[in-house]
Each structure stands twice: as structure tokens, then as C-alpha cells.
Amino acid sequence: MSVKKGLVTCLAIAAVCATFQQTVHADEVSGKQYTSSTVNQLVSSVKSASDETSLSGIVSSPLVVGATSISGNAVANAKVDVWVSGSLKATVYADAKGNFTVEVPALAKGQIVQLGSTLDDWSGESNRFEVTDEAPIVISPLVVGETKVAGRAAPESKVDVWIGGAIQATVKTDAGGTWVARVPALEKGQIVQPRASMGDWYADSTRYQVVDKTPDLLISLRAGGTKVAGLSAPGSTVNIWIDGAIEATVTTDETGIWVAKVPALTEGQVVQAKANIGGYWLAEGASVTVVK
């Protein structure tokens, strides 16, 4: 985030403030030019709370499972405390450009990383960043006609959404690692693969396949059978209903395939698959009657 450069000019040379369209970021604030008092003035002049938290520290390295170092940017020459899930893991001083790197114990999924910056009598706290798996994941239904793809990746990373071998959208994750992209309407059989990147680092997701919205059964249902298989949105939860009761719950793989073990089927039973993602997206398959 940023503040108007005219404000920074006023702080630096005490001149009459003019309006500028350019912006200044935390890494442009030189410790040789700014004392704690001028940083306080800078903070009091920012346009939003998010501007202030960016001055307190931003992360420039992927916060993913297994990472043992954290890099970022804060006010130049400030002391930076690195907290992981409420425990102080490292303290470092930012350089003249505001950059810093610290070593930490291997990060675990779900941990919260937060930076605390101090310069003389000024202090501030960054956003709370959540550690994610290294590979991006998709958490929205990849079904025919869908125009939105959502997922999770390293916090503050760039995500390129590849569909059918071409980039269809580029977005940035939030502090929690969540991202949402608008894409052309998905078509059956297309391959969706997000790529997250930060600087020289990048990670690809698994290859997801777009399927029909309605869960389909892939095998015939005959009396005595104990297996039901089908196709639904990749990553969805599928409940297998038999005569009005749930007899099995499974999760589809990245291609949308699922397989469930059920009690031995009997002739005349009615089987139906119902899929959902996070409880907010629902799809029901056709009811199928078990035969001899």
C-alpha cells in the first residue's frame, strides 16, 4: 500500500505540500531521512489502515509449509520482530532499503505469521499472514459454465490461472492466501492449473479437469455390488444416498473421479449421488435403481 508522494516530500524538506499522483512504498522510506517522528507523521497521513500495516511490514517470500526463512520489507533501519502463532521467533533490523531476512523453525500449515516494526518511539504491526501448502489448490467447483475460479496459495503471491494451456487470469492472494479469478466460461474436459509465484519462487497445482455440473455414475448398479463410482467437480465431497439415507461419503480427486464402498446393494434400491464444496455449492445426480 502507499501514501501520496507529496506528503513524503513535505516530511523530507518541510516544503509546501503539493499534489502528486506518484506513490511511495515502505521500501522507499530511507532511515537516513526519516526519524520516528516523521514516520508517525507519515502514518497519520495514510489513506487507510491497510496503508499503515504495509509500513509495519510486508512479506516477500512464500509462507508455505516447510519454509525456514522469511523475507520482507519494512521501514528502513527499523527493528522487525517476527512472530509465528503468537511466539517471537526472530528479531532483525531492516537495511537502508527496508529489506530483511530471518531464519525460523520450519513453518507448519495454518500457522499465523505477523511482523512488528519499531523505530525509536514508533511501532506498528503488519497483517496476519497464514501459512499454506506449497502447491496452490482450487476450492471452487470446476464445472461446465462456471466463470469463477477460487483457491488458496502462498499469502501475497501472484497466481496465474492456466486453462487449456493458456493463462486466462492473473490475481494476487490476500494475507490468508485466498484468491479469486474471473475466467471465460469453463468447458468440459478443460485442464485448469494455477501457478503461484513470488520473485524467483513458483509452485504449480495439480491438473484439475472440468466436468459436468451434475454428478454422474460411472458403473452399473447391480444387486450384490458393494462399490459405487462416479464423476463430480474436482475436490468436492460426494454423499451417496441409498433409499433416502447416506451410506457413504467420499472426496473426488483432481479429475473429479470418486469411488465409494457401500453395503451390498439389493434389487430395487434407489441410489443417488449429491456433491458439495464447503457446503455452499450443491449438485445432485440422477436417481438410479439397482437391477439384478
Give CA torsion, residues 253, 159, 99, 46, to 10 deg: -120
Strands (E), 132-284: 137-138, 148-152, 158-163, 166-172, 178-182, 191-198, 201-204, 208-209, 216-217, 227-231, 237-242, 245-251, 257-261, 270-277, 281-284
- Give me the CATH topology for the region 3-130: Immunoglobulin-like (2.60.40)
Q: Provide the phi-psi class of 118: left if phi over 0, else alpha when psi is between -120 and 50, else beta.
A: beta
Residue 232 has pLDDT above 70, yes or no: yes
Residues 182 and 147: beta-carbon distance below 8 Å: yes
* pLDDT at residue 56, as a whole number: 76
CA distances from 236 to 154, 244, 257, 275, 281 (A): 22, 21, 10, 6, 9
* pLDDT at residue 53, as a whole number: 57
Amino acid letter for position 10: C
Residues 51 and 124: beta-carbon distance below 8 Å: no
Q: Which of 233, 149, 235 is nearest to 188 (CA)?
A: 233
* pLDDT at residue 55, as a whole number: 72
Per-residue pLDDT tens over the stretch 83-138 = 999 999 999 999 999 999 999 999 999 999 999 999 988 899 999 999 999 999 99
* pLDDT at residue 144, as a whole number: 95
* pLDDT at residue 2, as a whole number: 34
Average pLDDT, the chain: 85
Per-residue pLDDT tens over the stretch 19-53 = 222 333 343 443 444 455 544 554 444 434 444 55
In angstroms, the CA 176 to CA 113 distance is 10
* pLDDT at residue 18, as a whole number: 30
Q: Where along the chain do the CATH 2.60.40.10 domains lie?
A: 3-130
Per-residue pLDDT tens over the stretch 245-275 = 999 999 999 989 999 999 999 999 999 999 9
* pLDDT at residue 199, as a whole number: 93
Helix 5-13 / helix 36-45 crossing angle, nearest 10 deg: 150
Amino acid letter for position 177: G
- Give me the CATH topology for the region 216-289: Immunoglobulin-like (2.60.40)
Q: SS3 of 13, please?
A: helix
The CATH number corresponding to 137-209 among 1.25.40, 2.60.40, 2.70.98, 1.20.1270 equals 2.60.40
